[in-house]
Structure 1
Amino acid sequence: MNMEWTKDKEKKILFKYRFALTVKVIRVILATLFFFWLYMMVVSISYHSLGLEKKHIFYSRVAMDWTQPNMWDDFGGIDSAEITPFLTQKISYPVFKMVGKEPELVGTKQLAKRLVPMYSTNQTEYLKPKNEQEYRFYLPEHPKTGNKLEANENPGVWTKLDKVHEGTVAELSFSTKKYMTPEEMLEFLKPYDLDVLWMPLYTGELKGFEPGSWSGGGNSMSVDPFGFTGGRDTGDDYNSQSKYGLDEKFTEQNKKMMLKQMKKLLENESTSYRENFLGLSHLEERYDYLMKEGFQVYGAVVTGPVKELLKLKENEQIQGANLGDMSYWNWSEE
């Protein structure tokens, strides 16, 4: 039987074909979305149940303690952690600095832990531009020759403090003209009504290794600071964590905690993880130096009433002072 081909029949056949094809495409898209949702659900549940982010959060805080003066996390606060389809772990948490007796929000720590550690990132997003000068420390002597060095002085620091209202608290960093043990530094600062927050620690720079960044001019020399502060510890599952204060009674414990975390990183983590993700360069050389030579500091970051900070100007051992942030009075009267 002959069937006459018409335009209407052609349109009907094309419509049916397009409709069937559209249905198939929609089914494929829905199936893909379903399997993607299922994949992400399994990945997310596994990620959070295994607590993979806890180790990265802990060690990022340890690294921050050592390399970023007066930077504090909200201990026990809420962290944000998620994992992407490409298994990149994205973690963030707020960071603070102590000005007086109260923490001041300064920004957010942003971590991106990728499958390839060399492409991982660890950054701090500040709420306002950061002044690198406020944390510059000067070595008291040349590491290779032993010759005495001096600091670049900024007289405007003391002038500004002198003009500030006495009902103000501030943050100040300074270097010293000689090395001290942490215990000696705390004893040195005991006569002042100040809180000691952080100390630049000499770990063999320019003597045992060449640091990535250092500067020198005239008779002064400074390196990227690596510091001593309150020690951190955690259990094997990274669930329970503890942190000590930078206090005389905890000094020995803080030393042990620092060496312990250094050793664990060296034994359990790759060089790429330590250097590219955590930003801890030459950790093995630093660890070996501290084990052999002990802990020597050459300055401090302190906070307290501006009039109390001004008293440091008269101490002949203090040099290279830099003023950090200031805030309204929040100090406790004794």
Structure 2
Amino acid sequence: MNMDWTKDKEKKILFKYRFALTVKVIKVILATLFFFWLYMLVVSISYHALGLDKKHIFYSRVAMDWTQPNMQEEFGSIDSAEITPFLTQKISYPVYKMIGKEPELVGTKQLAKRLVPMYSTNQTEYLKPKTEREYNFYLPEHPKTGNKLEANEDPSVWTKLDKVHEGTVAELSFSTKKYMTPEEMLEFLKPYDLDVLWMPLYTGELKEYEESWWGSSNSVSVAPFGFTGGRDAHDGYNSTSKNLLYENLTDENKKRMLKQMKNLIENESASYRENFLGLSHLEERYDYLMKEGFQVYGAVVTGPVKELLKLKENEQIQGANLGDMSYWNWSEE
């Protein structure tokens, strides 16, 4: 049977072929999208069911308490947590600092927990650019020699406080010329109408382990690691609690800090602690605190500028740094 090949027949065959190919491509795309949707559904449900986001949020806040003075989340603030197709867990939440009696928004904590921990990130995006170190704390004596050390003094701190209106509240950090227990530091500051927010804690730096430092031949400053209100988690991180830095809660705050350090050491990898949370030498710090106890050498405080100025006359205080200021929001007693 003879068939004449014509242009019309060729166009019809090509059209059928292209149509069939297009249908196959669409089916493959739809199938891929369906399986991708199904994959992401399973991943998301599993992620939230396991509560991994709650654990990472809790420990990131614990690490922030210890390493970022006067940085905290506000109770009731909204957390954002999601997981990507490559199983990267992305978490963010707003962070505040206390200026006087009111929290002030300073930025957003951005976390990315990746499958390879060394590529995980934990950073704070500030609303205002940071051009210099906001908190410097100076050791009262050299850990290796026991020789007395001094702090770098900035006289402009007190000049600024003296010039601003007394109807202002501010944040101030300082070091002390000797080590104290947290209880002694709270007692030391009791005569002043101030709130104590954070204390730099000595955990064996340059004595039990090597740590980066800066300063001079007679002043030494190390990366801040501090003591503040203790946190605890309950019901698989579904609920958490945090104490304030009050004198009657000091023992409980110590126990909570040691508990969370121990939990991280026993239940989480060194990579998780160091690369994701930014907690270096945690085992050495824990061992030192268990052996030597809690010793602090300064504080971050907030209150009326007229009260902060009184600290200038205290001979035990050195190396003061002025933080943020705000309009009067203090409670008169």
TM-score between both structures, scaled by the size of structure 1: 0.98
Query: In structure 2, the residue corresponding to 1:72 is in which secondary structure?
Result: coil
Inter-partner Cα distance in structure 1 for 2:182 and 2:131: 26
**Backbone CA RMSD of aligned residues:** 0.9
The 8 Å contact of residues 170 and 327 in structure 1, kept in 2 or not, is answered as yes
Report the equivalent of 2:246.
Answer: 247
Report the equivalent of 1:315.
Answer: 314
Alignment of 1:205-216 (within 5 A): 205-211=205-211, 213-216=212-215
Alignment of 1:99-118 (within 5 A): 99-118=99-118
Kindly provide the amino acid, as one letter, of the partner of residue 309 in structure 1: L
- Tell me the CA shift for residue 96 of structure 1: 0.2
- The CA deviation string for residues 194-245 of structure 1, in whole angstroms up to 9 with x for no partner, is 000000000000000011x311213111000100000000125111211111
- The CA deviation string for residues 254-311 of structure 1, in whole angstroms up to 9 with x for no partner, is 0010001000100000000000000000000000000000000000000000111000
The 8 Å contact of residues 82 and 90 in structure 2, kept in 1 or not, is answered as yes
- Tell me the CA shift for residue 49 of structure 1: 2.2
Report the equivalent of 1:271.
Answer: 270
**Number of residue pairs the alignment of both structures matches:** 333
Residue identity over aligned pairs, in percent, reads 88
Distance 1:273 1:236, change over 3 A: farther
Kindly provide the amino acid, as one letter, of the partner of residue 67 in structure 2: T
Inter-partner Cα distance in structure 2 for 1:310 and 1:189: 13
Report the equivalent of 1:235.
Answer: 234
Report the equivalent of 2:45.
Answer: 45
Inter-partner Cα distance in structure 1 for 2:132 and 2:201: 18
TM-score between both structures, scaled by the size of structure 2: 0.98
The 8 Å contact of residues 133 and 322 in structure 1, kept in 2 or not, is answered as no
Kindly provide the amino acid, as one letter, of the partner of residue 65 in structure 2: D
Alignment of 1:79-90 (within 5 A): 79-90=79-90
Gaps of 5+ in 1: none
Inter-partner Cα distance in structure 2 for 1:161 and 1:86: 51
Kindly provide the amino acid, as one letter, of the partner of residue 89 in structure 1: Q
Alignment of 1:133-212 (within 5 A): 133-211=133-211
Distance 1:298 1:265, change over 3 A: same
Kindly provide the amino acid, as one letter, of the partner of residue 96 in structure 1: Y
Runs of 4+ in structure 1 deviating by more than 2 angstroms, as ranges, are 130-134
Report the equivalent of 1:8.
Answer: 8
Kindly provide the amino acid, as one letter, of the partner of residue 235 in structure 1: H
The 8 Å contact of residues 74 and 103 in structure 2, kept in 1 or not, is answered as no
Residue 258 (str. 1) matches residue 257 (str. 2): yes
Inter-partner Cα distance in structure 2 for 1:130 and 1:183: 32
Report the equivalent of 1:329.
Answer: 328
Gaps of 5+ in 2: none
